[in-house]
Amino acid sequence: MRTNYCGLINAQYLDQAVTLYGWVHRRRDHGGVIFIDLRDREGLVQVVCDPDNAPAFQIAEKIRNEFVLRVTGKVRPRPAGTANPNLVSGEIEVLVQSIEILNASLTPPFLMDDENLSEAVRLEHRYLDLRRPQMQANLRLRYKVAMAVRVFLDQHGFIDVETPMLTKSTPEGARDYLVPSRVNTGHFFALPQSPQLFKQLLMVAGFDRYYQITKCFRDEDLRADRQPEFTQIDIETSFLNETQIMALMEEMICGVFKNVMNIDLPNPFPRLTHAEAMFKYGSDKPDLRVPLVLTDLTDVMQDVEFKVFREAALKNGGRVAALRVPGGGALSRKEIDDYTSFVAIYGAKGLAYIKVNALEKGTEGLQSPILKFLPEPVVRIILERSGAKDGDLIFFGADKSQVVNEALGALRAKVGHDRGFAESAWKPLWVVDFPMFERDEEENRWKALHHPFTSPADGHEDLLETDPGKALSRAYDMVLNGSEIGGGSVRIHRQEVQSKVFRALNIGADEANEKFGFLLEALQYGAPPHGGIAFGLDRIVTMMAGAESIREVIAFPKTQRAQCLLTHAPSAVGEKQLRELHIKLRNM
């Protein structure tokens, strides 16, 4: 049996006999001696095969990259001057006594330390790609995070309860993945978009504290960095209010970062209301590593000559705001054009700016095509509010608030990172006091900003009927470095409030009963006050790993076309299978 992992042998094992199992990472012949870097999940060790040991040497001569070996030998110091400080095992090597080839390998399509491989090649041979030390580290990090969460929640009285994967289709929000039922002809299960309703029912059932680390499914177009199936750390508790839940979850996330990465997150996390976040950062998930903030100017632009600003300032729901870029006067024409194209993605029709110079001469030294349309007192307010200094540049956004916020919010983060303002640190925060609803302009109705089971804020219950757009909720999002990593709320625990919210969402009584009747009924049988949160495990681990994509922290991910390049799923299936499920393909 194995005595040691390759990657963990160090000088403390000197002179010991060891038995190792691993893969040939590299083989070198040097001065008639064969050197093998033997790799296992813990890392590399140098194995040395002398020609004196003829039986082993003959085997070693046959060895190629990625062969699987069993090696016995003795740990000895590397010769002076040949230590490798990058390896745990860098001071020692193993002198081979015997080698056994447990399996051969064809020449792999890439080496385990190749970089910049095409993702397609990696995914097609994922079993090789996962041998790469970075991928090994990513998946072990993922495991450590999940296990740290489990241990924390266990210590705090939460129990893991499994909820169904084959459940009911209630399309609201994202598209369901459907599963035809063979036994119940013409009927379909849906894969869960989240265990939301089941965890609420577990609270009604008195479990008090629930968690689950579970797969969720959304059949969305995968433009962003998404996967058809993703993993949620799903948590619910009874009898705690939002302050208590947030404190507990903050403690959990801080503990995970400390235990797994030895990082101290700020304690406590700052809190921003949704309104403040939009006002200052143009985003409900601001990247606080970037210290820049927006300057609101709506109030002073209502009378200016510059039509774009004036109209935005006068429009109901319009906004004029500025983003000061310290030292931004050095931006080239090309850079400013690129930022203009960038904000266009968010619907901004242009990107006005002022270059700030010679402030000792008042507004005279400013440079901008729009200056002539702005009265000097307004320009002075811009300078004052934004805190402009010589050499700065001020960008402007003027449009519907949503466009201004999205454009300047994204620009703030981009310029901040481009220009080196971002502190390379971990900047979590809570965003709270979200509106209950947002307007779906296309469908001309209110949509739940979080989900329809989110409780309205205390005292906002009547607004559900009188002025839904003004109603705030008891939702909270945990944001880290510009990503929402968790979202939750205190839920509705009274049936009449739940019904009111359905009405505000234009879900009629029949539809509500058809889709959510079991919840409405459950709320009438002693549902406790309860709330919870769901964290995106993939996203958190991606950030901790410093990876580019969640695919880097998922063992067998799908492509953006929702395909598995390794197994070739999805695939065509037999007519017999379809017939048993009472379905057929449409003519295409």
Annotation: binding site: 172, 218-220, 227, 450, 484, 491, 536-539
Whole-number Å distance between alpha carbons of 487 and 540: 13
Q: Smallest distance, Å, CB 173 to a copy of itself? A: 14
Locus of tokens 């009111």:
500
Fill in the per-residue mask, 472 to 511: x = in contact with a copy of itself (CB under 8 A), - = not in contact: ---------------------xx-----------------
Q: Are 419 and 387 in contact (CB under 8 A)?
A: no
Grouping H, G, I as helix, E, B as strand and the rest as coil, residue 369 is coil
Grouping H, G, I as helix, E, B as strand and the rest as coil, residue 60 is helix
Q: Are 394 and 329 in contact (CB under 8 A)?
A: no
Whole-number Å distance between alpha carbons of 425 and 434: 26
The DSSP secondary structure of 30-51, one letter per residue, reads ETTEEEEEEEETTEEEEEEE-T
Judged by beta carbon, residue 35 or residue 207, the one nearer a copy of itself is 207
Buried b (16+ CB within 10 A) or exposed e, 492-505: bbebebbbbbbebb
- Which residue in 33, 83, 130, 547 binds a copy of itself (CB under 8 A)? 130
- Contact flag: residue 588 with a copy of itself (CB under 8 A): yes
Interaction with a copy of itself in 520-559: which residues (CB under 8 A)? 521-522, 524-529, 554-556, 558
**Stretch near a copy of itself under the rule CB under 8 A, chosen from 127-135, 273-281, 345-353, 369-377:** 127-135
- Contact flag: residue 3 with a copy of itself (CB under 8 A): no
Whole-number Å distance between alpha carbons of 428 and 240: 22
Q: Smallest distance, Å, CB 403 to a copy of itself? A: 30
- Contact flag: residue 40 with a copy of itself (CB under 8 A): yes
Provide the angle, in degrees to the nearest 10, between the axes of the packed helices 509-522 and 495-504. 150
Judged by beta carbon, residue 123 or residue 383, the one nearer a copy of itself is 123
- Which residue in 15, 52, 86, 103 binds a copy of itself (CB under 8 A)? 103
**Selection from 233, 162, 229 nearest residue 191 by Cα:** 229
Interaction with a copy of itself in 140-169: which residues (CB under 8 A)? 140, 142-143, 146-147, 150, 154, 159-169
Which residues does the annotation place in the binding site for ATP?
Answer: 218-220, 227, 484, 536-539
- Contact flag: residue 452 with a copy of itself (CB under 8 A): no
Q: Which residues contact 50 (CB under 8 A, 6 or more apart)?
A: 33, 57, 95, 96
Interaction with a copy of itself in 243-262: which residues (CB under 8 A)? 244
Number of residues near a copy of itself (by CB under 8 A):
123
- Contact flag: residue 585 with a copy of itself (CB under 8 A): yes
**Stretch near a copy of itself under the rule CB under 8 A, chosen from 231-239, 289-297, 319-327, 394-402:** 231-239
Interaction with a copy of itself in 50-79: which residues (CB under 8 A)? 66-68, 70
**Stretch near a copy of itself under the rule CB under 8 A, chosen from 77-85, 259-267, 305-313, 515-523:** 515-523
Q: Smallest distance, Å, CB 362 to a copy of itself? A: 58
Whole-number Å distance between alpha carbons of 398 and 320: 4
Judged by beta carbon, residue 26 or residue 150, the one nearer a copy of itself is 150
Element housing 575 (H / E): helix 575-580
Q: Smallest distance, Å, CB 526 to a copy of itself? A: 4
- Contact flag: residue 201 with a copy of itself (CB under 8 A): yes
Show the tokens assigned to 157: 């009285």
Show the tokens assigned to 320: 């004029």
Q: Smallest distance, Å, CB 95 to a copy of itself? A: 21
Whole-number Å distance between alpha carbons of 148 and 161: 18
Whole-number Å distance between alpha carbons of 215 and 195: 9
- Contact flag: residue 426 with a copy of itself (CB under 8 A): no
**Stretch near a copy of itself under the rule CB under 8 A, chosen from 134-142, 282-290, 337-345, 426-434:** 134-142
For residue 426, the one-letter residue type is W
What's the start-to-end Cα distance of the chain, in Å?
A: 58
Q: Are 331 and 390 in contact (CB under 8 A)?
A: no
Whole-number Å distance between alpha carbons of 438 and 444: 11
Whole-number Å distance between alpha carbons of 27 and 66: 10
Judged by beta carbon, residue 216 or residue 432, the one nearer a copy of itself is 216
Judged by beta carbon, residue 107 or residue 118, the one nearer a copy of itself is 107
Interaction with a copy of itself in 166-195: which residues (CB under 8 A)? 166-169, 171, 175-191
Interaction with a copy of itself in 333-372: which residues (CB under 8 A)? none
- Angle at the Cα of 521 (from 193 to 158), degrees rounded to 5? 55
Q: Smallest distance, Å, CB 71 to a copy of itself? A: 12
Whole-number Å distance between alpha carbons of 292 and 393: 12
For residue 530, the one-letter residue type is H
Q: Which residues contact 104 (CB under 8 A, 6 or more apart)?
A: 64, 67
Which residues does the annotation place in the binding site for L-aspartate?
Answer: 172, 218, 450, 491
- Contact flag: residue 104 with a copy of itself (CB under 8 A): yes
Judged by beta carbon, residue 170 or residue 302, the one nearer a copy of itself is 170
- Contact flag: residue 110 with a copy of itself (CB under 8 A): no
- Which residue in 105, 259, 302, 357 binds a copy of itself (CB under 8 A)? 105
